[in-house]
Structure 1
Amino acid sequence: MPVKEFDIYIVLDTQDVTCVPDPMHRVILDYLSAGPASLTDMMNDLVIPQSTLSVQISRLVDMKLVRSETDPRDNRRKTISLASLHFAASLPPGPDLDGPPSVMIRRLVEAPGGCREYLLGSILEGLQSVRFDVSPWMRRIGYQAGTIMAERMGSMNGEEGLEFLKGYFLRNGLGNMNVETHLPLTVSVRETREIPGFTGRQKAAFCGGMISAVMNSCLDRRCRPVSCIVSEAGDAILTFECGPGDEEGSADAKYGA
């Protein structure tokens, strides 16, 4: 049975993404968010038997979500504390991007430091580890991720936006992106490495959504994917339809040509 609800954390020291579906683990992490505590305090406050609590703490230590350290004032006592974590979101399953998935995407993009570059892996590893079907909303989730990224990028023309996407795709295992033609905008995304459980068509849908969002921002007009061809090797050819140019100049000028 798929897990009905789970939390997603990013471990800042390693930038690993960890999905936490176990209800007891979530209770313990929530308790420790208020500060370090002794095993005895946790046992009394949470009303969990010591043997059970010790096992769960040990598992959370193995997951690098909490730390267990000897109390310097008393070698017989252990102090339990959270590791350096970034809470991404609690996520019940469902395709509604106006709900918790939307919150998760924004929090992942706004995560401290290099965690921003783990957007795709964070979404996929977290969702698919609990058998969440991402297929119905990959283009929408890509579009939303691209919209948030465009907000962070600031003012760019189309050429700069495409160069930014090339680097982002390569860093995150989405593929080697090249612009084949500008009018119509045709982009190839060549497979560079396989993301487990993520099909070529799902990846192409995500890429198409992200490219649309960034181009909408850079060109200040509508840009949407109209065709997608995916090979057996996972390579994709995406063609986009962009709305008519505005009064400021031609489409070539908008692309920085």
Structure 2
Amino acid sequence: MNNGDNTAIFSTDIGVIALNGSVKIKILDFLKTGCKSFDEIVQHTGKAKSTISVHLNDLKSQNLLEETIDSNDKRKKVYFLRCQYVACSQEPGMKQYNEMLDLIASPEVHSFGCLKCLFHAVQYGFRAHGVNCDPIMRKIGHDVGTSLSRNIVSQEPGDILQEMLNFWEKNDIGSFTILEKDPIKLAVHNFFDCRSIPIKEKTLCSFAQGVFEGVFRAKMGGECVMQMIGKCDDTCDSCFFQMIKL
């Protein structure tokens, strides 16, 4: 998550909220792993209890977290998230966005696939205007993966991956290689033709990451994350993921 130097953006039931306080962001990041007690939050942040109390009250008032009674100790409270990390600010970069717009305006756009270029342009557009949207693209990827899982009949990890690979190649989504099976380690290639598009800033790794998470959580009925262990470089040779079961 954003380290607090920039603005972090969260989605709540009442709308989008932007934060730029490093301590508040650190608290929300800590709660991503589950409910935490007041003392755990104090220890994690290294701040005074009075300071954390003020921050927790602020975050509750913004509907970013809630408190409840600890089921193991009725004398204590625990805190949990009520928000989704969406994006963070970054230094704007117009270069790749303008390159994509030039490509869309050229006769060459048909050779790369007009719809795919438009999809990439959305990614570049957010970044061009100072928004790093990797978190929300991962969440959207997760939702897409959950829906795609309905097209998969297998229940075993290896068979699920083979069905996914067949589906990807049949529908021109991309390809991936199974590097290891325990734990699952993957190399994803040419996702949405990112390798063929001649622009040196790739943006879809987090989306692919979410797709795998959505499929595996839906099919295996358990929590897992696809940890990014290697992001694709400027040539987009591949990005690497490893499954971690929670």
Answer whether TM exceeds 0.5 for this pair.
Answer: no
Higher-Rg structure is: 1
TM-score (norm 1): 0.40
